[in-house]
Structure 1
Amino acid sequence: MANTIIFPGVDSSWLECPSEPSRGHQCSKHGNNTGVRLECYEKSSDESEPDRGESSSVLLRRWLPEILAQLGGMLCLIAIFVLLWRADNRPSEEMYLGVTLNTILAFLTSLAKVAFLVPIAEGLAQLKWIWFLSPVGRPAKYRPLLDFQVFDDAMRGGIGGVRLLFGFKGILASFGALIMLSGLFTSTLTQQAITYDVRKALSSQANDTATVDRATAFSTYDGKMLALTPYDTLREQRAIFQGFFTPATERVMELRANCSSGDCTWPAYGSLAICGGVANLSTVKNPGLHDRLRKTTEKRLKLLLQTSNITAGSAGYGNFYIAIDKVFPVIIGLLDEPTGAFNQSVTELIVSDSFIAYTEEMVSTSSDDDAVADMMAKVKYLELAFWWCTKTYETEVNQGQSVTREVSTVSQVSGGLNNTLNVAWDPKFYPCYATGQCNDTYGATEFNLEKPAAAADSVDFTIHVWTSLTASMLLASTMLDSLLLDRTRGVVASNGGGSAKAFAFSLLGDFLTTELPSAEKRLADVQTVMSNAARSMTNLVRDGTTRLAKPESVVRGSVYAPQAFVKIRWEWMGMLTTQLVLTTLFLVLTVVATYMSRVQVIKSSSLATLCALDEETRRDIGGIGDGVDQLEKRAKKVPVRLERRGDVEDSASGAVVWLGIPEQERLDSRTW
């Protein structure tokens, strides 16, 4: 154990160590311009000089609470990252141990914050002692005694940390104060890591439904007869005219799906459907077809002109031909056999095949042979066909809006069809219909269609022949029509079911229009009318509310509801992570600084603080009875430093501390 003797104020270069020191002691002499300090210490058993600082094992043991606190903070950080990783992209309604994610994050963040503040506070407390210690081998430095209070205030954070930071009590102390001050923002910034992203998610409500009708069979046969419900025929005609009289610039929407939440999706599914198409018969090289079309159109045109004149006269409109002498004729009639304009697979499935005759320029209203012959030279023909097909659909309801997309279409008989489906081509239908013998003629005859591509399920699509022929008869009655239009496309006369007007607008232009559309636009608009009518009839076939269609299954989809999902913004965890890493660095540097300074590990010991100041200095600064403000003023003017003195021994290291002022610097000596 070291003993020190100082002789201040004299020339003591002649001082020597005792001539015969005891065997257990070793002497050394240090001189300066004011005196000589004689240090004696006990020799170790191996004749080597002992380390005047604490041993590394003792040092680490005394820092063990801070090391454990720092490890605890790291464990909290790991727990936070695991928690957020598991919660990321999961519904926010999920609870963890009965509490919300934000509550758990706040709790773990608080633990981590406490964990890194413990090493910072104790490290600043230890640096307080080092701050008053003169560096080894350098001139003595004295600090204002008030610095002791500044360090103590900084340990509590807040304003004290700011005073220490701006007062600059060393790089390491400023570093620690900065970390401590950053803790003010830890909780707020960490909470920003959790955000909530509203998305559509599968609903967990048991009463939520997502259904859409699709037809897998078309039959009203009950085993004996067709079992039609009241007004089935009106429903079919309504569907046809809804498609016909939808403007060519609009589109008939597919059957609306049932979605309880307003947001649903369905897998791709197949269904029976009606397809519609247009062919330009004027370009078909079939003289026999053209001859039949010309004869049929000529008869219909003469009849229309004659009946129009009679109707005008009997209605009191005066002489019809005086008011209007030129018209646009539009005539729709049935085709009694296939034209060859469509391929064979489509032709086998046609349920309605009609032609439309029209002229692109006005013709005379005269019904004499020369005038009619002149008209017929200007007539052009289109074929209008409806046929059975299967379609693949994708349906989605988004915010209450139902959207169905056609993915694919197949028009192909799978097998078993030995009869035409078009009533105009079947010579057996009208005789059995008139006599009520169609059950004997057709009975339960059915056939299957090819399944559409890309459908998620696999079902059969079946059509009853007798039911299909009955529907074809209703279509045929609707597609018989003719009319005359004046110069501004107003109807002068009509004779039939009323569908010709819809096609007249597409071929000749809208009402009060005098300009003829281009050939490409005319053909495209007629195709749109046919597609709209086919889509409207398909909706009727798919709709389960009518017995004309018997869908064997209802497609069930997935119901989605707006739901908040946790979205983790990992960059906001950088604050806490950086604080813990920097705290570890600060703790390591503080331990190293303590070891290099050979200062006891005192940290924030209140007992050490009470014993550190010597009696002379306490008398100079006065007591607390004068008030704290006066005490601080005097402490600013009292410079002190930390000394290793031999009158107080530490059994662990032999390095002890004492705070004193330079004028009263002294050491209790031990003589030989």
Structure 2
Amino acid sequence: MIEMTPLNGDRDDDRNTRLLPTFKKISTKQSPAQKPLRSSLWLDSWLFEWITLTFSVACFIAISIVLWIYDKKVRPEMAYGLSLNTIVSVLATGCKSALVLVIGEAISQLKWQWFQDPKQRQGQLIGMQRFDAASRGPLGSLMIVIHHRAQSLVSLGAAIIILLLAFDPFMQQILSYPVHPTMDTSTTASAFAPQLRGFILQDNPGTPIIELDGNTLGDELDDSFTQGFFSRQDFSVPPHCSSGNCTWNEFSSVGICSSCSDMTSTVLLDCKLPPRTEAFNRTCKLSFPGSVVQEFRFTNTFLEDTPVLEHLSEIIWKPMDMRVQLRGLLSEDSDGYVFNLPNYTLAGVTNPLTTVAYVKLGLYHTPLSPNASVSDGLYIKNATGCSLSTCLRNYNILVKNGEPSVQIGDIDFGTIYLKHPGATLYRAEIGDDGGYANPLCWMPGPPDAAGYEETRDFAFCHGRMYLLGEVRSYLPPTKGVSWAFSDTYGMWYRFSEGSGEDYGGGELIMKQLERVGLEKAIANIAASLTKHGLEITNHSVNGTVHVTNVFVNVRWPWMILPGLLVLLGAIFLVVTITVSKKSHIPLWKSSALAAYYHGLEKLEDGDNDHDELKTASTMEKKAEEENVRLQRSEKNGRLVLRQQGASEVDPAPSTRMSSSLSSLEQHPQRERDSTLLQLVEPGSVNTNFETPSKKRTAAHPAYADPSMPSRMLEAYVE
């Protein structure tokens, strides 16, 4: 609507202002042919909602496809700094936003069905506000669910909107990025672990290994024995790994192993001694079943009529030793003796390269009687037997973040063979290189009736395996003790103690042995010898080099709720469309114009509007033509939107009228009146300059305004 600005009226000779004539409004409304046609397809159908729902489903499917493609894969490096989280977040936002729009429109449509259903008892006008609030957000949805007690169809849509609050948090929990190592195939990658396929010492037949008056053990084994006995270091050899993360398949390697067992119940003590009242010097014997006998002495003397008993309290010896067995042939004057394996077993190992036994003797302080044998008071406190021999073990090696982990499997002590079983040895051959005259051979697995097989994997022969018997030289000597008998108390008491052998530093070594125990000491020596072999070996096992990469891990259970919400949203839309069609409800959805054109009708309102404007598109077209103003109602004074009539003015007549009115100021009074009358259509001039009638006021609300000057010119468009 075009409102004309007030014009100055003409003044007469008495200087009274004369109100110019009132004009009718000149319509400038376009004809239907001139106005562009608007398609009602979006407003009067569910096409837009179907497209929006399809977009929501497509976004969810796209999320699923993207996650499926990158699941368990290395995290992708995308252009422009994009990340997988960004893509999922954008798609999730589109999915959720489209779903909210669809659910909101469906709830708005159910509003009209709710008030049309005669079965509804809750038809209060406030329901319009509840439905409108439910279509806008979770708070309104929660309120309508409570108000309807979750028993209406709209409650399903409201519940979906409420649950959509968890849509984004669930989508954020789908992706995680664990760090895993992957294979490094670059040329600089390297991983290898040392492997022994033979004896711990390199084969050098030119080096003498046995001499009549000593040994040629050398510094290499000397250091290994010493470190094994005294050191607390880790004797494993770390593998080489270029990246700090490497793996190896399980592999086998030769080494030196030990096995110990408690022999307290099986040790044999052969000792027959006179009573303490006699002086004596007797020999006693210790042995394990089938082993070499160890002899030691008991002496009883008198110090001022006090018996003093001296004997060995801690005895260490070798129950069986391959080198001792071989060197025993040298005691004969003639040549031509056959060396056979002793077939001796200790601690589960048959024919070990060497053995060590430790026995601790005790003496009861109170004798049975003065005439009882001293040997009756002797007892074995404890006895331990250990075997030391070649073995084969399985290794599982892993390097993670630069820290190696070496897991060693079960031990296979294999079987010892002679390279030339039954061969006759002569004194000359048993000399400096006697070990190579008939060297020892070793092969994994149980004894084979076919004997030694040189082609067997990890099978080897080596003359220097005899040298392991030298381990006894690095253990402490036997330890002696002296007892004196007190007639006053009638019991033995410790008189003194010391080394039973002339051995430098024996007390220090014995304390070390007592601290760690024989089993641990022998195990450390075996580990030290194996370490020495691994450090000088030329064999190795290649591993796999890994580099640390970040992977994509999709936690699929977090997709369940978003997927269900999309599915329920689609079902809710289909049900809403079905209910709307069956109820023959106009498709108004969330149109704000429906309440205007089909608003509240009071019982006393007698107006009858036959133009129902049933569709949203016709209401929108009509709204473009309607002019309303928020004013007080003439009936009851309420603030209402009052219809004002057509508001579009033809620009050509308006311009012409404005131009003519402007030119009036340049002509005399009579000419201005004549010109003004020509501009006005016949019958449009209000010749009554008094206050407009009630009927005129009702037709033209502008006249009802008492503040309007009587000289103002108004134009109204019919």
When normalised by structure 2's length, the TM-score is: 0.53
Residue of structure 1 in register with 2:703 after alignment: none
Distance 1:478 1:417, change over 3 A: farther
Q: Which amino acid is 1:103 matched to?
A: T
Residue of structure 2 in register with 1:214 after alignment: 195
Task: Please state if 1:186 is matched with 2:164.
Answer: no
C-alpha displacement of 1:124: 3.7
**SS at structure 1 position matched to 2:257:** strand
Residue of structure 2 in register with 1:411 after alignment: 414
The 2-side partners of 1:70 and 1:536 are apart by 74
Residue of structure 1 in register with 2:541 after alignment: 554
Alignment of 1:148-159 (within 5 A): 155-157=135-137
Residue of structure 2 in register with 1:539 after alignment: 531
Alignment of 1:303-382 (within 5 A): 326=310, 328-333=312-317, 335=320, 336-337=324-325, 340-342=343-345, 348=351, 350-353=352-355, 359-361=361-363
Q: Which amino acid is 1:271 matched to?
A: S
Q: 1:325-349 CA distances to partner (integer Å, 9 max, x unpaired)?
A: 645344545554376541899555x
Tell me if the contact between 1:448 and 1:462 (Cα under 8 Å) persists in the aligned partners: yes
The 2-side partners of 1:385 and 1:166 are apart by 83
Tell me if the contact between 2:74 and 2:549 (Cα under 8 Å) persists in the aligned partners: no
| Alignment match of 2:395 (pick from 386, 393, 396) | 393
The 1-side partners of 2:124 and 2:476 are apart by 117
Residue of structure 1 in register with 2:561 after alignment: 575
Distance 1:223 1:173, change over 3 A: same
The 2-side partners of 1:108 and 1:182 are apart by 18
Tell me if the contact between 1:266 and 1:556 (Cα under 8 Å) persists in the aligned partners: yes
The 2-side partners of 1:128 and 1:561 are apart by 58
| Alignment match of 1:495 (pick from 466, 478, 502) | 502
Residue of structure 2 in register with 1:450 after alignment: 444
C-alpha displacement of 1:567: 4.8
C-alpha displacement of 1:221: 3.2
C-alpha displacement of 1:390: 1.8
Tell me if the contact between 1:92 and 1:565 (Cα under 8 Å) persists in the aligned partners: yes
Distance 1:406 1:178, change over 3 A: closer
The 1-side partners of 2:521 and 2:384 are apart by 13
Question: RMSD of aligned C-alpha atoms?
Answer: 6.1
C-alpha displacement of 1:568: 0.6
The 1-side partners of 2:176 and 2:310 are apart by 74
Residue of structure 1 in register with 2:597 after alignment: 613
C-alpha displacement of 1:216: 0.8
Q: 1:251-284 CA distances to partner (integer Å, 9 max, x unpaired)?
A: 9765445566776554332111223345859958
Q: 1:448-474 CA distances to partner (integer Å, 9 max, x unpaired)?
A: 522699xxxx983244423334x3464
Residue of structure 2 in register with 1:51 after alignment: none
Alignment of 1:136-215 (within 5 A): 143=125, 147=128, 155-157=135-137, 171-173=152-154, 175-196=156-177, 198=178, 201-202=181-182, 204=184, 211-215=192-196
Tell me if the contact between 1:269 and 1:555 (Cα under 8 Å) persists in the aligned partners: no
Q: 1:158-201 CA distances to partner (integer Å, 9 max, x unpaired)?
A: 777678777879944454344335434422332123345x4654
Tell me if the contact between 1:330 and 1:500 (Cα under 8 Å) persists in the aligned partners: no
Q: 1:84-131 CA distances to partner (integer Å, 9 max, x unpaired)?
A: 45555x256345787433222212212211331232233244345546
Task: Please state if 1:596 is matched with 2:578.
Answer: no
Tell me if the contact between 2:248 and 2:543 (Cα under 8 Å) persists in the aligned partners: yes
Task: Please state if 1:274 is matched with 2:281.
Answer: no
The 2-side partners of 1:394 and 1:489 are apart by 51
Q: 1:496-544 CA distances to partner (integer Å, 9 max, x unpaired)?
A: 48789767887xx669xxxxxxxxxxxxx54444334323322322x22
| Alignment match of 1:78 (pick from 61, 75, 87) | 61
Residue of structure 1 in register with 2:464 after alignment: 467
| Alignment match of 1:233 (pick from 211, 215, 218) | 218
| Alignment match of 1:484 (pick from 474, 480, 486) | 480
Identity of aligned residues (%): 19
**SS at structure 2 position matched to 1:113:** helix
The 2-side partners of 1:360 and 1:452 are apart by 40
**SS at structure 2 position matched to 1:179:** helix
Task: Please state if 1:103 is matched with 2:89.
Answer: no
Distance 1:429 1:251, change over 3 A: farther
The 2-side partners of 1:495 and 1:213 are apart by 41
Tell me if the contact between 2:104 and 2:135 (Cα under 8 Å) persists in the aligned partners: yes
Q: 1:606-631 CA distances to partner (integer Å, 9 max, x unpaired)?
A: 7x659x528xx8xxxxxxxxxxxxxx
| Alignment match of 2:553 (pick from 566, 570, 574) | 566
The 1-side partners of 2:251 and 2:260 are apart by 27
How many residues are aligned here?
508
The 2-side partners of 1:140 and 1:281 are apart by 96
Tell me if the contact between 1:217 and 1:272 (Cα under 8 Å) persists in the aligned partners: yes
Tell me if the contact between 2:44 and 2:588 (Cα under 8 Å) persists in the aligned partners: no
C-alpha displacement of 1:429: 9.0
Distance 1:484 1:59, change over 3 A: same
Residue of structure 2 in register with 1:126 after alignment: 109
Distance 1:286 1:153, change over 3 A: closer
C-alpha displacement of 1:602: 3.8
| Alignment match of 2:573 (pick from 587, 590, 594) | 587
The 2-side partners of 1:474 and 1:77 are apart by 77
Distance 1:224 1:158, change over 3 A: same
Q: 1:133-172 CA distances to partner (integer Å, 9 max, x unpaired)?
A: 645799998947x94x876666554777678777879944
The 1-side partners of 2:70 and 2:542 are apart by 34
Q: Which amino acid is 1:466 matched to?
A: G
**SS at structure 2 position matched to 1:93:** coil
The 2-side partners of 1:332 and 1:418 are apart by 33
Distance 1:105 1:560, change over 3 A: same
Distance 1:498 1:119, change over 3 A: same
Unaligned stretches of 5+ residues in structure 2: 1-40, 210-215, 271-283, 326-340, 366-372, 448-454, 483-493, 627-632, 637-718
Tell me if the contact between 1:333 and 1:481 (Cα under 8 Å) persists in the aligned partners: no
Residue of structure 1 in register with 2:490 after alignment: none
Distance 1:461 1:234, change over 3 A: same
Tell me if the contact between 1:216 and 1:551 (Cα under 8 Å) persists in the aligned partners: no
Greater C-alpha radius of gyration = 2
Distance 1:602 1:105, change over 3 A: same
C-alpha displacement of 1:389: 2.1
Larger fraction in helix:
1
Q: 1:43-70 CA distances to partner (integer Å, 9 max, x unpaired)?
A: xxxxxxxxxxxxxxx9999223322322
